Amino acid sequence: MRGLMTGQRAATGKPQPIPVSLMVIVQNALAHAWRQLLEEVAEEQFSICGEDEDIITERLYMILDDLYSNEPETIQGFSVFQTPVREGNLRNRAGNKLDCQPDLTFRPLRDQLEARSSAMAAIFVECKPIDSTHPIGSTYCKAGISRFVREDYAWAVDRAIMLGYVRNICPLPGGLAYVLDSDAGQKKYRVKKGLTSLGQTNHGDEVYCSVHHRGCKSASPHTPSLPIALHHLWLKPEKPCETTKCKVSACDHDSAE
């Protein structure tokens, strides 16, 4: 099979650059769908606070699909993507896992990227709840960020999104910086560059970016892994589900009080 982004040839090539402009479209789509989800759950027996991560993500996906199919103009630029995908099976970079399932996938139309195949050239989104039973360190980072670092997800592109469902009182960037800025976090998640602001979504949600080395240090020099930029978008219900607070970095401590 021909093409840079297919099979093993993708694993040995350079990651496909994803324009930040496309990332912004997806972030705005997620933020818009979240507001619509909040409106829907207010009218039925469904709780952002009590539901499982997969159920929330599935509801969000159905809203995104409906917007794309019927009102793509609601989110500026949404029409330059294919239909969003939920939990599509993909291989990891090493090829020893064939059923990796990023929570949401947004594939740009073929003329938006240089890649000849769109299977691996996409914006991948991993979703994680954040609350007292889903701490940032063990849930968002260990079960989320690590999947990008070890090249299970998004190994053929240079950017991806971590989406947080914040159900307690936990600010971005302080709550995440507390983990990523620590000595242990720097090493475990191979942090190359700490959190920097990327501005806000159309709905005012803060977006931050961290950069991480990928793969293992003993990887072959003939197939080097280049860093990945992770965009962090944290969405919240109108009122916190619980009053617990996450630990925050010293520079952001005041904002968590």
Q: What is the pLDDT of residues 189-214, one digit of tens each?
A: 999 999 999 999 999 999 999 999 99
Among the residue ranges 16-30, 64-78, 115-129, the one predicted with the least confidence is 115-129
Of residues 121 and 115, more confidence is placed in 121
pLDDT for 195: 97
Give how far Cα 104 sits from Cα of 57, 218, 237, Å.
8, 30, 20
Contacts of 235 (CB under 8 A, 6+ apart): 30, 31, 34, 163, 164, 165, 166, 205
pLDDT at 12 over 70: no
117: pLDDT strictly greater than 70: no
Half-sphere exposure of 14 (CA within 13 A, CB side): 4
Instruction: Using the predicted structure, report yes or no on whether residue 10 has a pLDDT greater than 70.
Output: no
Q: For the chain, what is the domain count?
A: 1
Please indicate, yes or no, if residue 46 is contained in any of the structural domains: yes
Which ranges of 113-214 does DSSP label H, i.e. alpha helix? 146-149, 174-180, 183-188
Residue 226 structural domain: 7-256
Nearest to 249 by CA among 195, 181, 165: 181
* Residue 58 placed within a domain: yes
Is residue 162 domain-resident?
yes
In DSSP terms, 131 is beta-bridged to: 134
Residue 211 lies in a domain: yes
Split at pLDDT 50, 70, 90, the class of 116 is: low
* Lowest-confidence region among 149-158, 211-220, 225-234: 211-220
Greater confidence (124 vs 11) lies with 124
Residues 6+ apart with CB under 8 A from 189: 141, 145, 146, 149, 179, 180, 212
Determine, yes or no, domain membership for 1.
Answer: no
